[in-house]
Amino acid sequence: MKKCLSLILFLIMAFAMTVSAGPNLMVDEAGLFHDVEKNRMEERCEELSNRYDMDVVIVTKNDFYDGDTMIEAADYYDYGGYQKEGVIFWINMANREVVIVTSGERVKNSFDQRAIDDVLDEISPMLSNGEYGLAALSFLNSVDLVMRGGSFQNPDVLNEALFSGFLIATVVTAAVVIYHVKALRTKGRQRDASSYVKPHSFNLLRQGDVFLYRRVSKTEIENSSNRSGGSFTGSSGVSHGGGKRSF
């Protein structure tokens, strides 16, 4: 029922938009941005949309959505009168979720799942810290980079790779050198006298296993999945790419 109401709302909005100048690229219903930020983002959305012949949309909401927010964002885009090719950046403050949904083959091919995941990984911590403006601008810069044919590279990847390399190299070097140093020491006390046991002289005379008591403990199983993504189809039947994170 709630989904139907949302659908009707989208249709009304779509109609209103077609009557007016065109769909808005920047909709801040949750009131997360200052006016200056909003203007700057709107200009940037328009600039990118014109440059790459697509729609770059930013939407913030504050209504709890009892379903998959990726579908919510995709439906908003599909019924919002936007171009076939485009990308929507969706923040739902009530659900505390951020979503990126891509539309159209050209955008889906450029802005692939890995790029979506990289962008979401970078901006999720910003949203957790309340830096909404910074998160949205980072998204727009990523769109520019990806559509220009470059690849979005999470700057942490290089640092993490170097750190992993350093860690692995340190462990391997230490292991090899320690192995060779230890090989220089072949003396040591014998632990026991097993080499001097008379053959077949061991006799087990008496044995017993006595059950004493039982303890049972239980711990709750945690479900810790705050990320998802992949290809999906919205209510309109249009295929999309996308991903989301909780923050």
Partner 1 sequence: MSEILGYKCPNCGANIPFDAVSQNLKCGHCGTEYNIETLEEYNQNILEKEDVYQWKEHKDQMETLGQVEYTCPSCGGSVISDGVTSATSCPYCGSSIIVKEQVDGSLRPDLVIPFALDKKQAIAKMEEELSRKFLLPKDFKSKRYIETIQGVYLPYWLFDCNSSCSARFRTTRTRTWNDGRYRYVQTDYYLVYRDGTMAFEKVPVDASKKIETELLEAVEPFDYSAAVDFNAAYLSGFFADVRQEESKDCIARANKRIHESMLEALTSTVFGYQSCITESSNIHFEGGDVHYALLPVYLLSKTYRDKVYTFAINGQSGKVVGEMPVDIKKAILMGTGIFLVTFIVAAVISFFLLGGRL
- The footprint of partner 1 (CB under 8 A) covers 114, 117-118, 151, 153-154, 157-158, 160-162, 164-166, 168-170, 172-173, 176-177, 180-181, 183-198, 201-221
The smaller minimum CB distance to partner 1, of residues 18 and 153, is found at 153
For 221, phi then psi, to 5°, come to: -85, 125
Distance CA 154, CA 20 (A): 39
The smaller minimum CB distance to partner 1, of residues 66 and 190, is found at 190
Neighbours of 186 (CB within 10 A): 6
The smaller minimum CB distance to partner 1, of residues 42 and 121, is found at 121
Identify which of 119, 114, 77, 75 has the alpha carbon closest to the alpha carbon of residue 98: 119
- Cβ distance 233 to 240 under 8 Å? yes
Shortest approach of partner 1 to residue 152 CB, angstroms?
9
Distances (CA, A) of 85 to 88, 90, 136, 172, 185: 10, 16, 20, 49, 69
Shortest approach of partner 1 to residue 120 CB, angstroms?
12
The smaller minimum CB distance to partner 1, of residues 59 and 146, is found at 146
Which pairs from 157-162 meet CB under 8 Å and 24+ separation? 157/118
Distance CA 105, CA 83 (A): 12
Shortest approach of partner 1 to residue 64 CB, angstroms?
26
Shortest approach of partner 1 to residue 23 CB, angstroms?
33
Shortest approach of partner 1 to residue 95 CB, angstroms?
24
Neighbours of 92 (CB within 10 A): 22
- What tokens does 154 get? 């999470």
The smaller minimum CB distance to partner 1, of residues 208 and 237, is found at 208
The smaller minimum CB distance to partner 1, of residues 203 and 224, is found at 203
Distances (CA, A) of 11 to 5, 14, 15, 43, 236: 10, 5, 6, 26, 11
Shortest approach of partner 1 to residue 237 CB, angstroms?
31
